[in-house]
A and B are shown apart, each in its own frame.
Chain A
Amino acid sequence: MTIHTPVGYDFDSLAAECAAAFDRWTPGASEWDEDLLNEWARRAFALQFAENSTYGKYCETRGVEPGDVFGWRDVPPVPTAAFRAVDLIVGPSNGAKLTFLTSGTSRGTSRRGRHLIRAPELYRASLRAAFRAFVLEGEVAANIVTLPPSFTHDPTSSLGWMLDDVCAGFASELGGSVVTADGVDWAALDAVVVDAVRLDLPLCLLGTTLGFAEWLERLTDGRSVTSALPRGSKLMDTGGVKARAGLERAAVLTGLCGQLGLRLEAIVNEFGMTELLSQRYGHGDPGVPLLGPPWLRSWVLDPVTLEELPDGETGILCHYDLANLGSVCSVLTEDRGRIVGEGIEWIGRTEGAPPRGCSLATAEVLEAQAHA
């Protein structure tokens, strides 16, 4: 494949061309090779350098200009903390059609990160292409059932937008969202399960690991209907269980598999970040490696020196995501992980540095007082 339209710095046409290229992709397609991604990376960087002025200054400070970028690896990555500090968008901030907020409060600040989305259609094209490949495994429709979050009820949730969108894009005759303003409509979920069993239609259940943990509790204590789901059913979880002490993802999934008659291979783990518009997916438990579309690349850096580490070594994850054309494509995370085969293993967030000595982190004091 070649890039047909000379787009210059026109975001809309470049985004449209990019979205079309995402749409066309299927796993194994040869056109998304290294050269093509590098070509996209050069053009995307030229656009972002010129039209995302904050990012442009960041790159200039590091002595990197468009002429210095020959491929995706040359693009200066932006630390995720930048999303908590400023708006990173190509063009003016009022050009954003969606604003997603990160969930985390970290580093002693309650300020949530913002990812301004100028082209939702690019997000849609990327997520649908990867979802079709890694969750639906090439199918074009499924009986999708989505648990929270939902964009309808939380218009700042990138995950909610994604779940609503795959529901809209791939839903078949059965299923849909079982989310209400108060959480899960458990009766609706029970009804879908009963119908699926009666009609022998496989379900594709999507939600957070925590949401599934709650369902497992209900299945275990009899508040929800327990049935062996029809053959071909699958479950995609995301987000982990960090927010619930004592809960392990493996235990949740094993329990659900037992209750719903699923094999562990039917479990798909989704890895996504608000700061990235593409996702990775892993099958089974522990869901490693996490694979993604070819316009999402990851590498691992030594946290102290920022030198790239060899495959298999644990360090800080850095991602290049062409779907981030409207903001910044290269993102340096605070996550620990490693390269495994063609994908990655996500190991966890790097927690804030524990205080050394008797020195006080005043941020904690101020944070506590702000919430008092």
Chain B
Amino acid sequence: MLEAWHLPGLPAPAGWVEGRTHAGRAFRAPSLSGTEAGIVAAYVREGALEARAHRATTDVIRAIGAAAARLTAEGRAGIATRELLHVELGWDDRLIRDTLDGMARTWTTDALVGLLDSELGGPAVLDGFVRDEGWEGPGVRRRKALGPPVVLPVLAGSVPGVAFTATVRALLARSGVLCKLPEAEPGLLPMFARLLAEEDPPLGRSVAATWWPGSHFPAAWREWTKWAGKVVVYGGAAAVEAVRGALPAHTDLILYGPRTGVAVLLPDTPQEEAAAALARDVCAYDQQGCVSPRLVYVVDSPTGPFVSRLAGALEERTRDHPPPDPTPEEAVAIRSARATFEFEGYEDGRSAVEAPGESLAWTILASESPAAETESLPRVVWVHRVPDIETLEEVLGPLEGRIQTLGYSGADGLQKLAALATRLGVGRIAPLGSVAWPPPDWRHEGRHQLLPLLNWTDFEAPN
């Protein structure tokens, strides 16, 4: 059985809780008492404070980069990582390699340095007071930034690597981490934490992670929330509401809710190329991510020709990267969505379904009428025709603040599209083909990655 935990400082676990990933693989984690959770939390806090005292931020970056590199390298850890993701997610090796390669670009030492440069002007401000050159007041002002000693990420989503990302951000903020792992993919972060402990023992002891069923908040949760300076939640509305209701008053909460991805094909789009690029974005993360494009709009031309090309591209992609079987619930929902579009098409001729027969490997639901309704289903894409960008604004208006990334192809009307994206609160506009792989310093949900975790201390002095 998979072990989904990393709890430095914990004596031998007395009991266990068991869960299953989406792919149906059983895993277990210790059933922590409040006392045990408190021991772990104290250990982690101590580890984080020790790392702050004895490690510069550049050391932290080096250790993270080294441990992360081992996850994707060809060595023993890399093999174990791929095996783990295969078991947890049911993905085939090529899809896993592609996904890991994409994620690894944001894990390198250079990428992490770039992130700190982008958001903080470099790592120095995390290690000591740095003179504020823009200060126009009397004397000098210096500034220092630090996260709280402990951050508690709660992962209700299932995109591989999210727990890892949340943990790395907290470590860069010089915080310790108590992480509630996601049920769908609970293994990667514990594996990383063990590698990190090998690279840098004090840093390794500042990360703890475990899992408990999402429907309740056990003694461990109550204990950990007492230690956490900030709680970071990744999940849907129900998960967020549940967590919010189970937190002490005045807890500093950072939320990352579910969002959707949109792709727009401008009138001068090279369709063959765009279809291949979109297929790549759709199949990345097996379309579980908020960056995954689900809604596709073809501006000012019928959907048919593009849908045919996209079908070909998805089929080709699926041959190389077959998806895992959908869950029974997903299978029923996909067939239901297909039936709706197919039967509506028989009546009005404006809707159609493209799919590999009865196989559920991929689905294109096409309509000549603009709409924005989607479900969270694997490798299902909704393609709509819109006459112009103005209509697109009407269609997407209800999703204001809910679109993570807007992918595009073509240049005719791109500035207008960018202006629309800004009005809709879209966090990122990117060419098709790179939608699923945001750069390391991207603004996640339109926000900085590290700044929300940090507290700033301004130090004003006569000189």
Contact = CB atoms under 8 A, between A and B. Distances in A.
A108 interface: yes
A61 B343 CA distance: 11
A247 interface: no
A187 interface: no
A82 interface: yes
Interface string A19-42: 000000000000000000000000
B402 A79 contact: no
B336 A357 contact: no
Interface string B273-311: 000000000000101111010110000000000000000
B337 interface: yes
B258 A360 contact: yes
B162 A358 contact: yes
A354 B329 contact: yes
B329 A359 contact: no
Given A362-B260, A366-B398, A369-B398, A316 B347 contact: no
B339 interface: yes
Interface stretch (B41-49, B105-113, B172-180, B375-383): B375-383
Interface residues of A, number: 42
Given A352-B333, A358-B290, A359-B288, A84 B340 contact: yes
Given A79-B336, A85-B339, A350-B329, A362 B374 contact: yes
A54 interface: yes
Most buried by A among B184, B257, B288, B336: B336
Interface in B301-345: 325-333, 335-344
Interface SS of A by simple majority: mixed
Interface bin, chain B: 35 or more
Contacts of B442: none
Contacts of B256: 358
Given A357-B158, A365-B399, A365-B402, A303 B331 contact: yes
A359 B294 contact: yes
22 contacts: A54-B346, A79-B335, A81-B339, A107-B333, A303-B328, A304-B328, A334-B336, A352-B375, A353-B332, A355-B376, A357-B184, A357-B285, A358-B159, A359-B261, A359-B289, A359-B294, A360-B257, A360-B259, A362-B260, A362-B374, A364-B237, A366-B399
Interface of B: 22, 157-159, 162, 184, 234-237, 256-261, 285, 287-290, 292, 294-295, 325-333, 335-344, 346-347, 358, 360, 372-378, 398-399, 402
Given A82-B339, A84-B340, A360-B290, 7 more contacts: A79-B339, A81-B340, A303-B328, A332-B335, A334-B336, A359-B259, A363-B374
